[in-house]
Amino acid sequence: MKKFLIYASALFVLISLQSCQDWLDINVSPNAPSQISDYDLVLADMTATTAYNLVGGGNFTRFSAQWIQHIADASAPPSNDTYRFTTADFNNEWAFTSYAGILVNAKIVIDEASQSERWNHVAIAKILMAHNYAVLTDYFGEIPFSQALKRVDNLTPAYDSQEQVFTGIQQLLDDAIIDIDKNAAVQVGTGDFFFKGDMNKWRRTAYALKARYHLRLTNAPGKAATTQAQLALDAIEKAMTGAADEAQFAYIGAPGTEGPWNQWIAKFSRNIRISDYMVNLLTDLADPRLPVLANTNNGGIYKGYTNGAINNDPLATFSAIGAYYMAPKTSVPLMTYEEQLFLKAEAHLRLGDADAAAQAYSSGVRSHMTRLSGQGQTPTVIAAADVDAYLKAHPVNGLEDIIVQKYISGFLYASMEAYHDYRRTGFPSSLQPAQNADYQQIPTRIPYTDTELNNNQPNVPAGITATSKVWWDTN
């Protein structure tokens, strides 16, 4: 804890130096430091900020969890639940968290640490840069990439196509793997909050992310689903071997250091409940994970809130999110092993190998149930026999079965991925728009932010709305 607070205090000074009230675009202040004396300090900022935004700490994950109906807002509409938002709602995620935060810090580490051959620091920075660029492009489509992060040398960067961005993301990950294989003499210290400098695990993470982004493009124009599937399988061969390989950021649970979902819901958005859609889905499947994903209501049953509904029943009538997910002390995964298994199942299915797809699918379900066993409001043990019976009752009959199980396993820990999968595949197909919504469909992207419209408008793609589609979304 003391070490975290030391990093946090020092990072506040670093970030303050990099900020300027007159600069709200994607370029940091000209007052930003040109050199870094402690690379671990900057890695601490990048890993902590990345983790916070993954799970409950920013609007990407909060909006996704509501739009994909993992959770629901029990307050009266309009709300984020009913797709009411403005171009100002993602200013922080675009300008401060990403471009003037993680991304510019990553570039400085890459540029400077390369000169001193600190290749492990360079590799981590490239992996985090790739991940965070992917987050941006998945929500916004075309973004500044090739001309971004030049600071005062280019205050109005052009936008790259999403296809170019994904090519760049894969190149960053490939380059990071090459850097790791250089076996640099200088090791990464405790500023790496994910792996504490374990570069073998960083290599596996890079391959896992490559698999994710290959399958993202299964329906993209000019891409063949089978080619993307094979590329994903090739990457998975060198990716995570189990849950122990996950990049996990630990929140210790003391005041001010609670997990992001706990911070947001317990302190600021207490009307958030598990969605009616999620409860009904698990009930229909006779899924033993329901007692972990949700608490019982004041009547001792599981009852979700319908997204966008107008309901005057007391809040206690509706099930709260399960204690496991709301725990102040928790660990946030950059990417779960279950996700990788479901990616593997999808890739095999697309290549026509039904047996291999079924095996990976079963492993994904089993891994997630094992993770949740013994958790919950009343500790719920999910026995191996229960898992076997569940898999027998719910075999793989098509892609939707895989995506639905991925959707369940991604509850709150991977709501962003569930949202991207829904846009990419249309699954779960039973998902319907929220009641009393501003649009008659679930939003398919986020319009560009005020910071860009005010500072870089000539380059911002025109005519973008919440129902426009990004390049890879042809579903």
276-333 residue pLDDT tens: 999 999 999 999 999 999 999 999 999 999 999 999 999 999 999 999 999 999 999 9
Residue 243 has pLDDT above 90, yes or no: yes
- pLDDT category of residue 14 using cuts at 50, 70 and 90: very low
- pLDDT category of residue 54 using cuts at 50, 70 and 90: confident
**What pLDDT does 434 receive?**
98
> DSSP assignment, residue 243?
G
**What pLDDT does 9 receive?**
32
**What pLDDT does 7 receive?**
35
Q: Tally the C-alpha atoms within 13 A of residue 177's C-alpha that lie toward its C-beta.
A: 16
Task: Give me the percent of the chain exceeding a pLDDT of 90.
Answer: 88
Residue 333 has φ and ψ, to the nearest 5°, of -90, 135
Residue 379 has φ and ψ, to the nearest 5°, of -45, 120
Number of helices (H) and strands (E), helices first, in the chain? 20, 4
**Measuring CA to CA, how many Å separate 429 from each of 14, 257, 262, 309, 403?**
47, 38, 30, 20, 10
Per-residue model confidence as pLDDT tens digits over 386-437: 999 999 999 999 999 999 999 999 999 999 999 999 999 999 999 999 999 9
Per-residue model confidence as pLDDT tens digits over 246-270: 999 999 999 989 999 999 999 899 9
**What pLDDT does 36 receive?**
74
Angle, CA of 365, 368 and 370, to the nearest 5°: 105
CA distance 328 to 196: 22
Q: What is the pTM of this model?
A: 0.93
Instruction: Return the SS3 of 71.
Output: strand
**What pLDDT does 34 receive?**
53
- pLDDT category of residue 152 using cuts at 50, 70 and 90: confident
Residue 10 has pLDDT above 80, yes or no: no
